[in-house]
Amino acid sequence: MKKIISIVLVLCVILSLTGCKSEAEPTKETDSKPTVVANDGEVAEVTEALSNDPKERYDLSEAVNLVFYMVGDPGKDYQAVVDELNKYLSEKINTTIDFRFTTWTDWATKYNLVLSSGEQCDLMYASSWTNYSTLAQTGAFLALDDLLEEYAPNLYKLIDPSIYDMCKVGGALYSIPADQKTYDASGIRYREDLRKKYDLPVPNTLENFEAYISGIQKNDPDQGLLSPIAISNSYMSSFYMNSIFSLKYSLSLANYGLTASYESPMEVTDYWRSTDFVQDMTLLKKWADMGFWSKSSLSKTDADSFDEGLTVAEVSGINQDKWIGSYNLAKEKHPDWEIGYVTYGLINNTLAPASPLQNATVIPYNSKNPERALIALDFLMTDETANDLVQYGIQGKHWNLVDGKYYEEIKDSGFSYENMNSWDLRNHLFKKEMKPSDDTSYKDMMDSYDVASANTKWQGKDLKTGFVEDYSSYEIERANLISVIAQYLTPIQAGLVDDVEASINEFLKQADAAGLQKIQDSYKEQWIVHCEEFGYK
């Protein structure tokens, strides 16, 4: 009952937001690890750890249908992929999977409703940005420590124990991370061709960003500029334009108005009560008054499309993979375009490989088939045919293999790479490389990330990894604060207030009444303990 109550409380706070048992002892695996993908994309060798027949290990005589929740919206031809996948899964593990999607419109509400309502769900995408650690702490997910080696032996051998350790909450493992290195590197995607055309600066500082946008506005008044929208359920930034200040600050912490630099993570300051905050919000108001975005932005639920030419830049939610997607799309559909990218982490020297919790899979606590769910997850991630289907679609219909090893998307097929939002199912052994070309932009970028990450103070560590907030002592205050943020902070960050300082004072008055100081005191104490534990001094 306590766990159920905790999950419901999480839902309220966020405001949007057993099975078949093996009859045979699993065969002992060797200590050898699967080899990595060679530079040309070819798998040099796959050990027996990735080649066991599940039917030889388990009693799979009973057919089961599992529910797997993914976030966002799938590619339009995803059902054909699911149908093909289920034919294969039925044959191999006597299992089918019903993939369901939250949509991007109100994903947090749906995500947390699934967990709190008791709706059938056996597997679920999870990430630090879906509040994995907090939900795990409240009992939303099943602990996998006693199940992993027996029901997911391939994943047990494939993923290094140190990675699993980073996914633990309170000493217990609740998730299986994706097996592919990536970078938590957001940034600004922008129209480089327009920058060159009008002789404008690269938007890599606040001053240059303003000059870039205003320069296009002056030279091409009919061109759409920016289309930021409000962010729900955030305790720091409630409007997407606020991400632009990553050009100014090097932060390891940003929550509840508290910030700490990447260089000195234990020196926590109150940003909302600082002159910097007033100056930053004044700048956003200036840009709003200049017409950089619509005054109706707060009522919009979707941003205008950058890829369709309706905007000239995006400053939030854009990583290197989304950039290269636009880059390649422009070469095909807009050959006169060039797409540029400014990586915040390269500017503020905080670049780090993404935490294992960036993309992971969990088994909800109320799953009726946890063992079968883990067997299925093990198969999806370590069987190449199954993994190809969830990552690339149907070979010959959605993609081709060129020269026996290179991935080539079939255009307008209705399904492209990771169109099922299957980031949590990545396996580096099965990653298909693009055919080499004279264009090395993406490779050059990733190489620069490797160098920059190694040269940061903390050598590429994500300082938030392993930090689990315990808000049990301020749940009510936290719920009150999110309402205050939505009503008072959002229009300030959108630049849609008449008097910035007066509006900030009113926001802080309401936030204090909601219990902001209690939240900040407890959160700061927890963060300091975390930094001391990991040696971030």
pLDDT digits (tens, 9 = 90+) for 244-279: 999 999 999 999 999 999 999 999 999 999 999 999
Q: Could you tell me which residues come within 8 angstroms of residue 279 by beta carbon, excluding any fewer than 6 positions away? A: none
Question: Could you read off the pLDDT of 410-425 as tens digits, one per residue?
Answer: 988 999 899 999 999 9
Range among 113-127, 293-307, 508-522 rated most confident: 508-522
Residue 44 has a pLDDT of 38
Residue 303 has a pLDDT of 84
* For residue 497, pLDDT beyond 90: yes
Residue labelled with tokens 């606040």? 206
For residues 79-84, average pLDDT: 97
**What end-to-end distance do the CA atoms of the chain give, in Å?**
40
* For residue 36, pLDDT beyond 60: no
Residue 161 has a pLDDT of 92
* For residue 23, pLDDT beyond 80: no
- The CA distance from 47 to 33, in Å, is 8
For residues 350-358, average pLDDT: 85
CATH class of this structure's domain 2-180+355-439: alpha beta
Q: How far is CA 162 from CA 36, 97, 167, in A?
A: 17, 30, 9
* For residue 405, pLDDT beyond 90: no
Longest dimension (CA), the chain: 73
* For residue 99, pLDDT beyond 80: yes
* For residue 14, pLDDT beyond 50: no
Residue 51: how many other CB atoms lie within 10 Å: 11
pTM of the model: 0.74
Provide the mean pLDDT of the chain. Answer: 88
For residue 106, the Cα-to-chain-centroid distance in whole angstroms is 16
Residue 52 has a pLDDT of 65
